[in-house]
């Protein structure tokens, strides 16, 4: 082999050896920079009704500073907190440009009107809107399990605050809750997602909730997930996408009425 041929062979060998390493370094650097710029949820506190309350907020980078973004208020399940539910939504929120807010109920086990009433939820929304540009006609509500039951109640009480509501694994189970449905000031669109094997909410409760909403004139959709129990984690990605497909097309016709 000539000297020139030997040098060329060594060059090609070095290129083959270094190229994968350089590609790996570039990939690692890109991932590192991306990780550094990824927005993380933050925990905030406000004073509401003379009490210090907390909530989590996530504002993805896809939300432009001067552009009004939709806001999704998330009500966590019993025994959980707002952060657990919010984390299930951050991927979709980043893609769709949704501001997420997930308040903590005063009692971790329950949502109660006395402690967590509509005024508290309005205070949380107002706190977020004071720092970020929110489209107040596109404020939505999503509830899980115990938070789902509470979301339905709040939707009736504050039908002119939320553009639309969706819930997973929770419906009304008592006559008193069903009785308030006709008194909503606005016919708020509501979507219910629930498994056909839910351990806590029997089919008769699901049917009663759907019928009460329809009878009162509320646009309501019901999605029964086959062979699905109460658990949310395994179906969250698909449910969240279907939920957002339902919510995103609804907008209040006028400014929200508190």
Tens digits of residue pLDDT in 136-159:
999 999 999 999 999 999 999 999
Strand partners, 139: 71
HSE value, Cβ hemisphere, 13 Å, CA-based, for 234: 7
Q: Which domain holds residue 22?
A: 1-37
75 & 162 share domain: yes
Residue 111 lies inside a defined structural domain of this protein: yes
Statement to judge: residues 27 and 71 lie in one domain: no
pLDDT in tens, 19-32: 444 344 333 333 33
Q: What contacts 247, CB < 8 A, 6 or more positions away?
A: 72, 140, 142, 163, 164, 166, 191
Residues 50 and 13 in one domain: no
Distance in angstroms (rounded) separating the CA atoms of residues 129 and 221: 29
Residue 10 forms part of a structural domain: yes
For the chain, the domain total comes to 2
CA 242 – CA 166 distance, rounded (Å): 10
Are 158 and 171 members of one domain? yes
Say whether both 26 and 58 belong to one domain: no
Mean pLDDT of 194-198: 98
Alpha carbon 234 to its chain's center: 16
- Is residue 85 over pLDDT 90? yes
Q: Are residues 93 and 156 in the same domain?
A: yes
CA distance readout (Å), 258 to 46, 119, 154, 162, 168? 19, 9, 12, 10, 25
Residue 64 lies in a domain: yes
Helix, strand counts (H, E) of the chain: 9, 8
What does the alpha-carbon distance between residue 69 and residue 136 come to, in Å, rounded to a whole number? 9
On whether residue 155 sits in a domain, the answer given is: yes
CA–CA distances in Å: residue 245 to residues 51, 103, 117, 216: 36, 23, 28, 24
Residue 258 resides in a domain: no
Tens digits of residue pLDDT in 91-134: 999 999 999 999 999 999 999 999 999 999 999 999 999 999 99
User: pTM of the prediction?
Assistant: 0.85
255 belongs to a structural domain: no
- Check whether 198 has a pLDDT greater than 80: yes
How many C-beta atoms lie closer than 10 Å to residue 74's C-beta?
Answer: 25
């Amino acid at each position: 082999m000539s000297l020139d041929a030997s040098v060329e062979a060594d060059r090609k060998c070095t290129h083959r050896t270094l190229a994968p390493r350089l590609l790996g370094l570039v990939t690692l650097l890109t991932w590192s920079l991306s990780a550094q710029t990824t927005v993380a949820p933050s925990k905030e506190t406000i004073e509401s009704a003379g009490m210090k309350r907390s909530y989590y907020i996530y504002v993805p980078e896809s939300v432009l500073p001067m552009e009004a973004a939709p806001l999704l208020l998330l009500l966590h399940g019993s025994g959980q907190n707002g952060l657990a539910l919010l984390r299930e939504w951050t991927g979709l929120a980043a893609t769709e440009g949704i501001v997420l807010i997930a308040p903590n109920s005063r009692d971790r086990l329950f949502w109660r009107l006395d402690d967590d009433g509509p005024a508290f939820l309005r205070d949380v929304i107002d706190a977020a809107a004071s720092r970020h540009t929110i489209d107040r006609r596109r404020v939505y509500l999503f509830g899980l399990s115990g938070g789902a039951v509470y979301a339905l109640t709040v939707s009736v009480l504050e039908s002119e605050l939320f553009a639309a509501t969706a819930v997973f694994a929770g419906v009304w189970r008592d006559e008193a809750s069903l009785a308030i449905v006709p008194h909503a000031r606005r016919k708020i669109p509501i979507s219910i997602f629930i498994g056909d094997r839910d351990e806590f909410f029997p089919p008769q409760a699901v049917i009663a909730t759907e019928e009460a909403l329809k009878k009162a004139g509320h646009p309501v959709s019901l999605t029964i997930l086959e062979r699905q129990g109460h658990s949310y984690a395994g179906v969250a990605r698909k449910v969240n996408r279907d939920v957002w497909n339902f919510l995103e097309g609804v907008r209040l016709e006028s400014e929200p009425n508190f």
